[in-house]
Amino acid sequence: MREITLDNLDDIARGAGILGTGGGGDPYIGKLLAREAIRAHGPVRVVSIDEVPADATVVPVSGMGAPTVLLERVPNGKEELVALRALERHIGRPATHIAPIEIGGVNSMLPIACAARSGLPIVDGDAMGRAFPEAQMVLPGLIGVTNSPMALADDKGNTVIVEAVDNHTAERIGRAVCVELGCQIACADTVLRGDQLAAGLVPATLTLAERLGAAVRTARAAHTGPVAAARKVLGGRELLTGKVVDVGRRTERGFARGRARIEGSGTDTGRVLELAFQNEHLVAVRDGVTVTTTPDLICVLDSGTGDPITTEGLRYGLRVSVVAAQCDPRWTTPGGLALTGPRYFGYEMDYVPFGSAG
């Protein structure tokens, strides 16, 4: 039986921070919350998708809001359990399993904390394979699973149940509630049966996060290049290494939006990479040429340590390496690109397939 304990939590948090493509919230804060829950309630049992019974009730839990707000308004760690209980009351049956809605940053850690507090196992998989900023941007939506009912909870114990006509509307209503409650709330939504997990989740992403975090840790200890180790596990390619010279960021409608400019160093001297983000990095333009777009992963790592740098953590002077990696292939279908491609976010460009540019 595999478990998440205090011994492997750091690796999972580090790897999930990388997979979060700059979003999903600060993994350090999430790790603290998960650590406290495991200390109080014991290790979390992890089950693979094929171990989940067909009639299981699997509930993804997460946080919603602007990552910049998370830095100043730290959750108490119980919000997701409050949202879970509100959803259970509404649907009239208990959850049998917890799942991450995304394998990114704090939203990989909050389900672990919720699983520890509830005593439920957590599924080794998530609904994105990375992090995305909006609630309807999940693979279950491609197979007809609705994200309603959606249970929302804040740090004071207030709860709201959203029953919407479609997934986009649930996101809009949920985001409005989020803004009204301080731009940082917990969610329990997108209820899945066990027999929907293979089609609706990216498998083994908790395992991937742990492998990725362990590879960076090991390489750093051996002084063998943590960024290269992360790139190898991801099967990714490096876009540029250099210094952050400009960041423009604003919090708007519950999102952290902005741009960053990175000037190359070493073999990349003279090159410039520009990133556009909405919670997560969405577009990378190098020397005027678009080289990577959502839904593929754009990961910003500290050049020396290999640690992930979130969009809210980007600042002038940081020495970073930007790595691109391929998303789950379901995101590059017409339905997937309609939900998460660059045009959805307002960029006048088509998806650039991984590895096709530069």
Q: Give the pair of three-digit tokens for residue 17.
A: 């921070």
273/91 Cα distance (integer angstroms) = 47
The beta strand positions in the chain, using DSSP E, are 2-4, 44-47, 57-65, 97-100, 122-123, 125-126, 150-153, 159-162, 184-188, 192-193, 202-203, 237-252, 255-264, 272-278, 280-286, 289-293, 297-302, 319-325
Q: What is the model's pLDDT at position 46? A: 98
Q: Give the pair of three-digit tokens for residue 15.
A: 């790897």
99/115 Cα distance (integer angstroms) = 9
341/136 Cα distance (integer angstroms) = 13
Question: Which residues 6+ apart lie within 8 Å of 250 measured at CB?
Answer: 256, 257, 258
Q: Which residues pair with 123 in a beta bridge?
A: 47
Residues listed for the chain: 358
Tens-digit pLDDT string for the chain (358 aa):
599 999 999 999 999 999 999 887 777 888 999 999 999 999 999 999 999 999 999 999 999 876 666 666 677 778 999 999 999 999 999 999 999 999 988 899 999 999 999 999 999 999 999 999 899 999 999 999 999 999 999 999 999 999 999 999 999 999 999 989 887 899 999 999 999 999 999 999 999 999 999 999 999 999 999 999 999 999 999 999 999 999 998 766 656 678 999 999 999 999 999 999 988 899 999 999 999 999 999 999 999 999 999 888 899 999 999 999 999 999 999 999 999 999 999 899 999 998 776 5
The upper half-sphere exposure of residue 324, i.e. CA atoms within 13 Å in the direction of its Cβ, equals 26
Which of 88, 83, 79 lies closest to 30, judged by CA? 79
Instruction: Sketch out the chain's domains with CATH numbers.
Output: 2-203 (3.40.1610.10), 224-340 (2.40.390.10)
Q: From the CA atom positions of the chain, what is the Rg in Å?
A: 19
331/128 Cα distance (integer angstroms) = 9
Question: Which residues 6+ apart lie within 8 Å of 121 measured at CB?
Answer: 44, 45, 46, 47, 97, 98, 115
Distances (CA, A) of 45 to 110, 123, 149, 174: 15, 9, 26, 30
Distances (CA, A) of 43 to 28, 35, 220, 254, 270: 19, 10, 27, 33, 49
88/59 Cα distance (integer angstroms) = 9
Residue with tokens 């409650």: 181
198/186 Cα distance (integer angstroms) = 25
